[in-house]
Chain A
Amino acid sequence: MTTTLTVPTITQAPRLPAIQQSLTLAWRNVVKIRHQPEALMDVSLQPIIFTVLFVFVFGGAIAGDWHDYLTYLVPGILVQTLMFATQGIGVALNNDIAKGVFDRFRSLPIARSAPLVGAVLADVVRFVTSIGVLLAFTAALGFRTTQGFASAALAVLVAIGFAMSLSWVFVWIGLTVRSAGAVQGVGFLATFPLTFGSTALVSADTLPGWLAAFTRNNPVTHVIDTVRGLLLGGPVAEPLLWTAGWSALLLAVFVPLAMRAYRRRV
């Protein structure tokens, strides 16, 4: 071996460093998905399983006719599967820390936020997969949007935007909790009441008073109502405003918490 490996030099700071570094680390996560397509199994199967379960098992009992229920259900399942998809990030970050990959990142002259932002950005691939599978599967069952393509695209964007804000909660949990298994435990505890206590499966009007009050003020309900309005018609402005507000609140609280946990995590 005759090549000179390293004549020591000082690394120059790149222009717009934080953005480029976040994109590079998002690329890393996307490459990992490409190497292991089975990593997308959960987000591909979940929308199908939930749809089959609710439409065919409960649909007749809830709505009398599974076809009508399918129409009501798709916006709910769309948001619900994204809620479950956001948890993966906590497990992935926890693994990165356990394997020492984050030690390397932390020793590099890069923006502190880049590994976390990169992971959140890469999860868009999971969200798009989940939504794509759901819409294709339910379209085959007869689901049709009524508000046109642009409105449907906006619905997808709103749902993904909320999911990216919610991701920071799981980034924080993933950096705080000791093991990947614990991340999943905490994640499911938080996600179940929020998704099932929303308008995903049934209208709030059918619920007892106290639960209806919870459901009407549940952020997930606002997201689902927005998506439902954009896909099938109905009021959009008010739930959209609530969704934006909740997303902003999640970011304002959990981005700083996650960054602090990242700096501290040994």
Chain B
Amino acid sequence: MTSDSPVIEATGLTLSYGTTRALDGVDLTVPAGTVLGVLGPNGAGKTTAVRVLSTLLRPDAGTARVAGFDVLADPQQVRRRIGLTGQYASVDEDLTGSQNLAMIGRLLGLPRAAARARAAELLAGFSLTDAAERSAKTYSGGMRRRLDLAASLVGRPQVLFLDEPTTGLDPRSRTEVWDVVRRLVADGTSVLLTTQYLEEADELADDIVVFDTGRVVAHGTSDELKHRTGAQTLTVRPRDRADTPTVLQVIEQVTGAVPTLDGHGTASVPVRSETVLGTVLDLLTTQGIALSELAVRLPSLDEVFLALTGHATQTEKEPVS
């Protein structure tokens, strides 16, 4: 495997549970050293895709190579190079943190002392040293998730699968998990991350694919996806409220649309391209108007998701009619 070939390459993955098509021809590519965010609502097929790529499920059709090996032909080779953190923490609650990690070290062939040393090293890296000798069932949600992440790192994987790593965590624990992921990527690990949180994909992912009903409905960087819907917003706020009429007039002149004005004196108008920014700035500067805000805002990924799939991100929160 050359260093520039992708670490994950999947083509046409298809998998049905009975009559439900969990995956319906999914293509994915993750270049080495990058993070792919798989975004989608519950039941979109994200977890199924992770389970296929991590050799837990056989697809009905399609091929996938992970870290240079075919998941169907060489699953053991793939397993030597991956780490998996499931949707729910899959550590053993009856074992201590230290025992959980040492057990995995032993399973991976480390001698007893080396397994314990690796466990101690990971526990320290995840701020779990104080809880090392406590059984995992006494851990908080965030601690358990960190232990689960640590467990998937014992074998120093090249490719890490994180299936909704922060679902159910409080904001502080979520930020901690994000920091860990960033450090892993800095060390050279490639990551495939599924999430329902657009903010999470925005924060961590180099590339994003959007899943809906077993299909990839959009693919690109966060910015590309936001551009795709074309709904950008120009916002302008003069430093002096007295300049507001002039500002409104200039905006209308440049964009051809009537801007709306909010209570703070900010004028905003939908625009098709951020190039209007320069024109507006030039005109306002020549008229000697000082600005406290001037921006073209991309839509949030939430808005993008809604535009792409026709429904909101968290389907379970929609009222049942």
Closest CB in chain B relative to A7 CB, distance in Å: 6
Contact between A25 and B95, CB atoms less than 8 A apart: no
Give every chain A residue within 8 A of B94 (Cβ-Cβ). Answer: 31-32, 35-36
Nearest CB on B from A29, distance (A): 9
A3 to B153, CA, bound (A): 13
Q: Given A35-B135, A104-B90, A10 and B95 touching (CB < 8 A)?
A: no
B188 interfacial by beta-carbon distance below 8 Å:
yes
Using known A-B contacts A5-B153, A8-B158, A109-B76, determine if residue A103 contacts B109 with beta carbons closer than 8 Å: no
Which among A13-21, A119-127, A153-161, A231-239 touches the partner chain? A13-21
- Give min CB distance, B304 to chain A, whole Å: 31
Chain A hits for B56, CB < 8 A: 103, 106-107, 266
Interface membership of B108, Cβ < 8 A: yes
Q: Do B135 and A100 have beta carbons less than 8 Å apart?
A: no
Q: Which of B118-126, B243-251, B269-277, B282-290 contacts A (4 or more CB under 8 A)?
A: B118-126
Select from chain A the residue with minimum beta-carbon distance to B7: A8
What size tier do the contact residues of chain B reach? Answer: 35 or more
CB of B176 to closest CB in A, whole Å: 10
Give the nearest-CB partner of B99 in chain A.
A31
B178 vs chain A, min Cβ distance (A) = 13
Q: Which residues 7-59 in A have Cβ within 8 Å of B in the complex?
A: 7-14, 17, 20-21, 24-25, 27-28, 31-32, 35-36
Q: How far is the CA of A5 from the CA of B91 in the complex (A)?
A: 18
Contact of A11 among B80, B88, B124, B184 (CB under 8 A): B80
Count of chain A residues near B, Cβ 8 A: 37
**B151 pairs with A99, CB closer than 8 A:** no
Given contacts A11-B109, A101-B90, A108-B107, contact A6 B156 (CB under 8 A): yes
Cβ contact within 8 Å between A17 and B103: no
Min C-beta distance of A165 to chain B, whole Å: 25
Beyond A3-B124, A7-B156, is A107–B84 a contact (Cβ under 8 Å)? yes
A5 touches B184 (CB 8 A): yes
CA distance A25 to B88 in the complex (A): 21
Q: Are A24 and B82 in contact (CB under 8 A)?
A: no
B206 at the A interface (CB under 8 A): no
Q: Which of B76, B90, B180 gathers the greatest number of chain A CB atoms within 10 Å?
A: B90
Shortest C-beta distance, A102 to chain B (Å), equals 8
With A32-B92, A103-B90, A107-B84 already in contact, the answer to whether A1 and B103 are too (CB < 8 A) is no
Asked whether any CB of chain B lies closer than 8 Å to the CB of A110, the reply is yes
User: Which residues does chain B contribute within 8 Å of A103, judged by CB atoms?
Assistant: 56, 84, 86, 90
Contact partner of A10 among B80, B124, B151, B184, CB < 8 A?
A: B80
Q: Which residues of A contact B99 (CB under 8 A)?
A: 28, 31
Q: How far is the CB of B200 from chain A (nearest CB, A)?
A: 20
Given known contacts A24-B103, A36-B94, A107 and B156 CB-to-CB distance under 8 angstroms: no
Q: Which residues of B contact A35 (CB under 8 A)?
A: 94-95, 135
CA distance A258 to B156 in the complex (A): 31
Query: Which residues of chain A (96-118) have a CB below 8 Å from chain B?
Result: 99-101, 103-110, 114
Contact A6 B127 (CB under 8 A): no
Question: A11: which B residues are within 8 A, CB to CB?
Answer: 80-81, 108-109, 155-156
Tell which of A6, A27, A100, A114 touches B90, judged by Cβ atoms closer than 8 Å. Answer: A100
Per-residue CB contact flags for chain B residues 12-36 toward chain A (1 = under 8 Å, else 0) read 0000000000000000000000000
Of the candidates A7, A12, A104, A107, which one forms a contact with B109 in the assembled complex, judged by CB atoms under 8 Å apart?
A: A12
Q: Which 9 A-B pairs have the closest CB atoms?
A: A14-B109, A100-B90, A109-B79, A8-B158, A107-B84, A24-B106, A32-B94, A109-B80, A6-B156
Name the A residues within 8 Å of B54 (CB-CB). Answer: 107
A10-B81, A20-B106, A266-B51 known; 19 other A-B pairs, CB under 8 Å? A1-B183, A3-B125, A5-B125, A5-B153, A6-B189, A7-B187, A9-B156, A10-B80, A24-B107, A25-B103, A27-B103, A32-B92, A99-B88, A100-B87, A104-B90, A106-B55, A108-B104, A109-B80, A110-B108
- Taking the nearest CB of chain B, how far is it from the CB of A105, in angstroms? 8
Residues of A within 8 A of B72 (CB): none
A28 touches B84 (CB 8 A): no
- A32 — nearest CB in chain B belongs to which residue? B94
Return 5 A-B CB contacts under 8 Å, by A number: A6-B184, A21-B107, A28-B99, A32-B95, A109-B77
A4 at the interface (CB under 8 A from B): yes
